[in-house]
Structures are given as structure tokens and as C-alpha cells.
Structure 1
Amino acid sequence: MAAVELTVFQVILLFWSLRTAVSQVEMRCPSSCGNICIPYPFGMEEGSYLDERFKILCNSSSGVPKLTVDGTKLEVRDISVRRSTIGVMFPVVSANCGGKDRNTVVDLEGSPFVFSSENYFIARGCGNLALMNQNQSTIGVCVSICDKNRDSMMASCSGTDCCQTTIPSFLKVFNVTMKGLDDGKGSSGEKQCRYAYLVAQSWINYGSYYSDVGGDSDPYDMRHRDSVPVVLDWGIDERVFESLVKNGSFHNSSYSSTCQFLNPSINSTNQSSTVQCSCRPGFEGNPYRYGICEAGRAYDNYRRKIKAKMAGIGVGVGFGALFLLIGLWWLYKVFKRKRSEKLKKKYFKRNGGLLLQEQLSSGEVSVEKIKMFPSKELDKATDHYNVNRTLGQGGQGTVYKGMLADGKIVAVKKSKVIDEGNLRQFINEVVLLSQINHRNVVKLLGCCLETELPLLVYEFIPNGTLYQFLHDPNEEFPLTWEMRLRIAAEVAGALFYLHSAASLPIFHRDIKSTNILLDEKYRAKVADFGTSRSVSIDQTHVTTQVQGTFGYLDPEYFQSSQFTDKSDVYSFGVVLVELLTGQKAISFKRSEEQGRSLATYFIMAMESNCLFDILDPQVVKQGEREDVLMVASLARSCLRLNGKERPTMKEVTMVLERIKKSENLTVQQESEYDRKEVMGAPWDVTSASTISSFDIGAPSSLDEKPLLHTY
């Protein structure tokens, strides 16, 4: 019974803490002006708003926020993300009212705002014909007639000295014309005071606002006011929304929020659809920021239901039923534990556990021990695979950040559902990584096969991928030439180890900048061995279905389906060009003449003596010219179409290490090569390998017969 009471207490404590966290979320306000909260997509500072149309100007002395629309600055009263509305002070149109004649036209065309249907259009004055116009067409009429006997104390607007009407949906233009009407007794209304305005229904309906009118009990009397509160609906422009979804900064498929397209119903010259987003039931927050809402009051409602249920059980159950409850609880725990064990065995078998045991017991691979993590430990380490712990997603699965019980930070890879055909590929990654022991290869700590989806546990690499540093640069910590050269040498050394020094030669088969991680000291770590293959020592290639990433794929392998160690060399050459140029392996920003492929673009630039025109500014600024030319020459050697003419990873590693050591020396004394061959004249594929010009003393691999004969 003590265990039951402890469980109940923990449940209550959990939901209380969730409620406290939700309250804190609700109270958060990213920025404010005066007492007005300015949530995203609105903002005051550059970078805090979606675009200029959502920019809020804040007067620091008065604390009054203002929104600029069609050149008119409108005072902001409130902004609601939940309802996608913004309350502003809007001008009153008047004529013959003590010299305060005004006729302001506000055009919302081209902006993300429309006049909300929550507003009334109201006209005041004796004999006032007020017309709402848009695109030279009348879209609304309001007529107030004269009645001198009207009781001014009556707060109504039913047509006598005051009329009101609703406005069309998606109204974009506030343009009012007023005409005086004959009162039927020969008196014209042209010289009578008359005015018209849009106003929020809530401002008229609720008496809490009447004190703001100025002492008059008639809430419709605005003759002494310059502006009144109006509600504008807003949303994100459809084209802007689609671009946000496309570049990944907005999660349109989020389970916590939903978005809908609003199509205008009034003819307009340049009006486009807008998108309004809201949190799904049970979630709350700002759906316009990344398209993700946080868990909200659904937890609170669930907590109340649990409390009510437990209270009812406590009242209804007597001492006689207490022992039965304990017995049932014990049976439930036993049944749950047995069911869990049965499921674990089922998942272990389905996820290749028997296949792994078979490989380990066969003696074909020398693996001392593969740690099998309990599913509960990894579930707790990743906070139940919380979406906020996601490090990245790829073709093989999703990677989460986790913390083990001993405080060690790890990366947990949750593989996608694997069928029988891909089972060996998954077990292959486990076996291969367990055999690898190299400082520049990501370390596999263990795996878990007793869950529905198999899990791999790696060492945590904190600084992301090389791709991110190259193509989403950090201005505070740029990738220097020295770092690029070191990373290239480290990756080359890792591949040399895989090809030559491992217990069995291993072909990685998917070398690219996204599979190169950077640790806390920005050292390179080669990762993602899901498609890798080990070969026997005397085996020169593997014949498989073509797999890899376009832009990095060896053309020779693509044609023949035969993957060799030189195919990894080609992919490394593309990464080397990425480090030199800072450009992506495949880019549609380059013209077809320049080459969508970075490899083609790079080779064309070298042949046309334009190498330094395409290099990254950091490389040009910081790298010694001779060092840069040698690395470029090495990259070109790796990208040769004939795999036989490419250097081995051992040769590549030796060249890069030599360049690193000679950075502060006179390069001309360390290496001799024809500069014209590097910069201008096309390379002769029948000539000796460029690698030999670096004096590495290992020409044998370039003198061997071709491994492939299909060109």
C-alpha cells in the first residue's frame, strides 16, 4: 500500500510542476513597449520581426507602440497571437464639426492586415449618408436621419442621428464619403456636424470603456475624439509562409499547431492569400515561431480528472477492498513485467539481435564487447525522446541528445523501422563501429535492441557538422584556413585507417560534409556507417546497388556499381573542394554552364585559371598561396574520373600532413610542381600522377592496372 501511496503522490507532484511550467510559459513576453506585449512575428528591433510590415515603433519617452501602415502611424493597444488580431487607434472621419474636418484614407493593400469583422461601421449626425468605398465601388452604406426629440441619454444607434452596420469580410481600404440629406422640412443637412468611423464591437458593447469617452454617457458620441479602437486581423503572406516552410524554419506538419489559408472575397488588384496559425487543443504558445506550440492546459484538465477519480475510489473503497486492491496491483505489476519482457524479446529478435549474436559468435569479427543498454535507461536519458532533444534527422533515423545516469552526455540514434532487407545493414553498422578505434571516427558506446525501434548510443559530438560550419557560418567563430587544413588531414587519416589499418578494410560509401562531426576542440569525427561495407584483405571492390549522395558519388561507381577504396577518395575530394570554396556539393544557384556539381565547377575553374575567383574569402585571406595551390591540386587528383589515377587515402594523408608541417616554411623549398598545370593548362590523364610531385614516395597504387574497365 505504501508503494501505491508513493505513486499517487508522485503523479500529483508531476502535474503540479507541469502546471507551474505552463504558467511560466504563459507569462513570458519576448519584448514590450509600455505595458503592451510585442510578440513574434511583430518586433521592435531588427531581426526580432518577420519582415518590415510587422515592425513596431516604440516611443521610449511615452511608451506608446505604433504600427506603420500605408504611411500612417497607428497607435497599438494590444496584439493577440491566439486570435491573430491587433488593436489599433483609427482616425474618425468628420465634417462641419467645429473646424475638425478630417477625411483620412487608410489602404491596407500589400500589408498582412485586413479590417476584422469584429468592427462596426458607425455614422453620426443629423441627415448623414455615409458611404464606404473600395476600388471606386460602394461596399457599405449607413444612413442616419434627423430627430430633434431624440433622448441623448439613450445609448442606442438604430438609425436616428446614428446608424451602424457590419463591414464586409476581408475589407482592405478605409475610405468614407459623407453627404448631408434633406430632413424633409426644407432644411439641408450639408452644414450639419456629421462624422463616421470604424470601431471595435467590444469597445462599444462593454461599459468599462465608457469612461474613456469623456464624460458623455453615449458610447457612440465620438465628435470630440480623433481616433477610436479598431481590430485588424493579420496573418503571414502565403508566399512568405511557403518560403519559411521550404527552408525549414517553420514546421508546417507540427502536431502541436495548425495553419489555414484565408482567401480574400473582395476584388482587389494586389491582394493575396494570408495564412493564420493557431495552437491545437491542449497546446498553447506562439505558433508563428517555428510552428511549434507547447503543452498547455490539457495537462491541467487531465490532472483534475485523475484527482476526481482517485477521490471517488478513496471514498467508495473500504478496508475490505484494500487487500483486494493490493493483490490486483501486484498481479498487474507481474503481468506488466512479463509482458514487457516478452515484448523486449520480440523486439530483440526483430531488430537483429540473433543476427548480431551470430556474427559475434562466428569469429569473423573481433569485437571484445558491445554494451547493451537497457531501454529504460535510454528512455530516461532522452526525456522520453523529447522533440526538444532532437539533434538531427537523416535517412537512417533520428538522433537525440541524452544524459546517462552517470552524467555522461551521449547521442542516441533511433533508427527508422527496418525491414528484413535492411536488417543486415543496421547490424553491419553496429559490428563495424564496434571494431573501429580511431580518434577521428565517432565512437559507438553500445546499442539497445529491446525497443520497438533499434537504438545506437554514440559519444556526443557537441559542435554539429562540418556542413553547418561551412554553409551556415558562425561569424563569432569562423572556420579558419588552419582549421580547414587540420580537418581535411583528420578526415583523410580516418579514411586511411578504415581502408588500411582496421582489422578488416572498410569502405565508408557515404563520405560528405554532413557526416563529418566536430567535437569540443573542433576535431573531425567521421560518422554514419549505415551503408559501409567491410571487405576481405585481398578484395578490391564490392558490387552493390548504387547508394550514396549526389554531388559526392563517384561517377565510376555510378556506372559500374562496383565500389572501391578510390570511390571514397572521390567523395573526400568533393569535401576537400567544399573546404576550399565554402560552396555546396550540389547547387542550383550555379548556372548549367558553370556546373551544378561542385566537382565540375571546381575543375572548370582550375582549367580556366580562375581558381582563386571561387575560393572562400577566408582561404584566400589566411592561406599561403602555395599551400592553397597544393591542396587544390590534391583535390583535383582525388576527382579524376579514372579511379586508377586517383591517389590512395594513405597518399592523401601524407600530402596533407606535409602541407600542415610546411605552413610556416618556404613552400618552394618543400615541393616542386608545375604551377601552370595547377592553374591553367588541362591535365593530361596519361601523365604521371600529380601526387608524385609532392615527393611522397608511394607511386605504386597509381601504377597498378585499372580496377574497373567500364567507362
Structure 2
Amino acid sequence: MINKVAKKMWMLRLMLLLSSLAAASSSNVKPGSGCQEKCGHVTVPYPFGIDNSMRAMNKNFFLNCSRRDSLPKLVIGDLEVFNLSIENGSMIASFFTAHRCYDGLGNRTSDYNEPYVKLGSRPWRLSDTRNKLTAIGCDTSAYMGDPDGSFWTGCISMCTNESAKLNESSCSGIGCCQILLPKSLKSLNLTLRSVNDHEDMGRFMPCDYALLADETFNIAEFLASEDKSSSNVTIEWVVKEKKCPDDPNSKVYGCGDNTACYYSENGQGYRCRCKPGFQGNPYLGCVDIDECLDEEEYLCEGNCKNTIGSYTCDCPVGMYGVGKVGCRGFRIITIIASCVVVLGLLFLLPIGLWRWYKFIKRRRKIKRKQEFFKRNGGLLLRQELSSNEGNIEKTKLFTSKDLEKATDNYNVSRILGQGGQGTVFKGMLTDGRIVAVKKSKSVHESNVEQFINEVVILSQINHRNVVKLLGCCLETEVPLLVYEFIPNGSLYQYIHEQTEDQLPITWEMRLRIAVEVSGALSYLHSAASIPIYHRDIKSANILLDNKYRAKISDFGTSSSMAVDQTHLTTQVKGTFGYLDPEYFRSSQFTEKSDVYSFGVVLVELLTGQKPIRLVETEENRSLAAYFLQVINENRLFEVLDAEVLREAKKEEVITVAMVAKRSLNLNGKKRPTMKEVALELAGIRASIGDSVLQQCEEIDFVDYDNARNFKTGSSSTGSFFNSVTFSVDGDPLLSNKW
């Protein structure tokens, strides 16, 4: 009799399981006669629909099934869709590749196309976390942009010599480069260019490629494949570009029964998913799971009973415990032991709890500080300090309490400036010193190295025209740097944002600032124990103290170099307008790259104009290129600042202008060193008139015969800026607005 009852119960459960599986398997298709569920090999679940034979949620989810080929294809415009995922809210589609091939002389041997994708007004986006712009080639400039011109960005892939080989396991920058997409991107154009007309590069890699590929992209497989015309991209979709309602129980458009609304990871809208204890297609409605039928997934050692969205499990009579975890029988010894433990706890509880509380609090505080110290690069800083012992002054480690008190707990009224990497606060130490406290933003691995790099480099520098690092604090959630306070802002503000109550920037001040900055850079390049290249010289990184003396700041992107060593990078860093064109093309940073950036600052001091000019003509947007052009055309005095024209002597202006011209030479080898620039500018400031010209001619620093006649050599700076239409942004640890 018992066996018959058990058999009937087993059969009943089996029928329930089969019915629930049938409901789940059919829930992917919208109910209705004649509904088509597939297009070729691609299954099309609701809320999507095919042609007129399947009802979609709305017109945004209406897809086309192209039958022009023998095997039907699911398409969105020119994109072929291979996969639709309800769980991930994504679809995988094929996107065309931009490519060109050359012979060894730079002649193009294949056609070139500029593919684009336009998703329209649907609530779809190109995934910014799963897709990357990838450029492959040895002389390749690839960039992408919105067709309406709202943004342009890209990267450069170069091969430096015959031994350079493409790393087929990753995109390291040699032979290949990658960048992420911006958020909220619905349309995209791909453009492919050659930096040096592909001359002498065909023997390394004869073809260039620019493609948009998702996280499954493999360089080796792509290069080995016969068909390189397309790659897979990931498109993310949402039901609507809105947030979920505040009330979790309210009805949400597009979501079926027993579902929950959740905001998508790309932050552009919401999707639907089944609530816990339910399964199926959330856009049609989810059905209850009978947990009692799956003993491996849902543990129960007692009496299992299915409920809507969950289940209960009671221990059998004579046993105790939680049935979902395990049931145990009652034992006398267990009861006695429990009573003893309870009495002991009641007696020792007050004392034990107090001591335990103090111990845990102290331990957590210590552990938290240790975690912050490690996360903020403390171990790396300790390693750098030990490896450079003797070259680095001892850096003071401030406590978090010291800096909280100094900045009035980081009051917003104490903010001096904010940049891409953090915020600078004004503070007063207990000894009365006024300081600037730099508080970094969230710490990523790359930012930690940059932060420690700035600490190590500034600790090596002892120069009156370089901002002095007083110490740092690593026991807080974000790392902190403490500098001497520089009260009068940046040179950029004094040149381009002059107010009526500010001291006018005279010619003597301009010349003195140029001498001080060039002297500091000369010290960094040739007099420091280890040559240091700043890599982001600009007027915004030159601060002015209470006596308007110049001080160089922001060493977050700087690097130390061995003697006669150049720095090969896979990612060009710097600020557009100050960036050395030779460094941009070759990715090799030398001391002459700092010379070029300083030359741009000299032109700012002479003309009072910004490094990127707001003009319609493309070739005149670069201040450096425009300055060289006006010198070639004998129009130097037409572009000088009014204060310079009023105060400066003609010979002084011509001499400084020629120093700037030589510093901006496109050939880095023909530029002077910072030491030569510093000596020449110091000589100009110390002497006046013909004596200056005579002394400078003797040391052959400037071609004054050409200077008097305003005859200068030709320059191709303008052509360089015309060939590049996207920006390369430097990302220093903190842009200066002191």
C-alpha cells in the first residue's frame, strides 16, 4: 500500500515537472498563431519579433529576416545579428572592417572603405565595456567618431625596427593598439590613415586594419583567417531608457508577471528578470519553480512543501534544526551542555563584550590603515625609497588627523582647484605653515603607480623653481600629497584670464619667468642626480608664488631616465597644443620633447595667445604652427602681446622669438638643449641692446643675421596638425588651478 502511494506521489511530481518545463520552453515566443521563432540559425525570443509573422513588444524590437541568400539572415540595417540574449540584454552582430594594403613604396594596393554603424532612436547602445577600437599595422592611425561630430578619438600603431613583432596574445602598442568606447554611443564611423604614407613599412606588415571588436576578439585568429572583412561587436539593449520605479511592487512596462525591474550595467535604461523562485522569459511572465522536485539544488532533510516563489522544509517529529540545513535528534548531554554555556555567558557577558568590543575596534582600525597603506602604494613607495637611498630626501609621513585638522576636515571652502586626478585643498599645519594638500580620487592600479611616481620624483628635486613636496599620507582611503602653498595661481591664468585687480604681467616678468622655468628644466635634465623629464610642460603647470617667481608643478606623468636613454611608450601622454610632433609620431620621448613644450610656453609669453587658437582655418589652430608661419612671413610684431610691444626692446623680442623658433623645430636633434636655452635667456635678461647680440653671436646660440631680416627656415608644423584630426589628452595626476 505504501509503495503504491509513493509511486503515485512520484508520478504527480514528474507531471508537474514536465508541465513547468513545457511552460518554460514555450515562454520565449509571444503567444499567437503563425509566430516565427527562428531566422536561419538564430533564435529570436520575445520581446523581439521577425517581420510580420511574430509580434514584438513594440517597433523598437522589430527585426528583419533577410532571405536574399540561401540561408536567411537576421539583420539590423547593414549589421548581421548572430545571437540574441535575454539574460545579458545583448546581441552579437557583424561589423565591417576598415582596411588598406600597400607595397613597399607606399602605394595602395587595395580598396579602402570607411564603415559606419547607426542604431537610430532605438534604446540600444554599442557596449562601452565589451567593445574596443582596435588598430593593427606598422604605420597605422585609426580613429572613430560620431557622424555628427560630437567626439573623435583614436590611437596609433607603429613598428620601430625589423625585429619588432606583433604580440599576438595582447595589443601592446607595437603593431597593434586599442582604446575603449565612450558611453551612450548609438552611431560610429571608423577611419584609417597612414602616419608616414606607409613608406618602408610593407616588409613588416603590408596591410592596415581598423575594426570594432568585442571581448572575444583574438589577434592571432584574426590575422590567420582568410576573411578579414568583418568582426563581432556587442550591442546592449534595454526596454526603455528610464530608471526603475521606486516602488518595487509597481507594474513596469514590458515586464511580465513574477518579475523584477533592474537598471542595466551600462546605466542607460532598465530590463526585466524573474524573481527568485521563478523561471522563464521575464518579458512574457515567469512561472513558479517546484523546489521540492530538485533535491540537489534545494536541500531538505525534512518535509518539503512548495510555496509560491519558495518552499518550506520542517524537520520530522522527534528532531530539531532547520530542515533546509540539517535536522538532528534531541540529546540530554546536548541540553546540559547548552545550559552550562548559557549560564557562563550570562556571568561573563558584560566583561567579555566590553573587552571584545575594544579589541575588535582597535584591530579594525589598524587593519584598515594597513589596507589603505598597501592599496595607496605604500609598499611600492617603500621599495622606491630603498632603491634610491641617498638620492631622495626623507619624506614626512603625515597622519590623517593632522591633515583633517589642517583642512578643516576638507571643507569645500578650502578647495584651491580640481583636476582629472583629484582635488587640492588649502591648509595650515600646527606649526603655522600654509600648505596645499592634494587629495586623489578613487585609486586604480595605474593611478597608484602615477601617484608614487610623483612622490619619488619630487623627493629627488631640490630647486627653488620647482614646487617642494613636504610629505604624504597613505593611511587614508585616498592618498594625499602635501606641498608648499603657491598663492598666486598659474601662469596660464595670468596670461589668458587676467582681471583688473591683478598685477599686470610686464615684459620683465615674462622674461624672468622664462629664465626661471628654463633654468629649472635645465636642472632636471642635466644637473639632477638622475635626469628627469617632465613630459607635460605647459603654462597651467607653472605656478607663481607671492613674489611672482615661477615654480614647475604636477610631476604625475614625469619619468626618470638613464643617461642617453630615450623613453619608448605605447600610449602618447601630454597636452594637445604643447605635444612634441616628433614624439607623437615615434612614441619616443626625449629631453628635446620638453624643449618643444617650453617653446610653446615662450610663444604664449610673447603673443598672449592660447596654444590652441579658436579660428576657422585648420592650419592656423596650432599656436606653434601659426607662430612659425608669421616669422616666415616677416610679421612677428603683428602677433605680439600689447604689453610686450609697449615695454620690450626690439632686439630682446627678436632674440626670444628666435629661441622659441629653434625650440619648435620639428627635428628634435636640431633643437637646443634646455641648458642652452636657459643660458641664452639668462643672457638676454642680463644684457640689453647690441651687447646682447654681440655676446650671443659669439656663442652661436641664435642666427641674428636671419633674425634682423626676419628670414627663417620653412616649417612643416602646420602640415602635421592638419594630418591629425583627433586629440591626444594627457592625464596628469592633477591639473593645476592653484
TM-score, normalised by the number of residues in structure 1: 0.49
Q: Find the structure with the greater CA-based Rg.
A: 1
TM-score, normalised by the number of residues in structure 2: 0.47
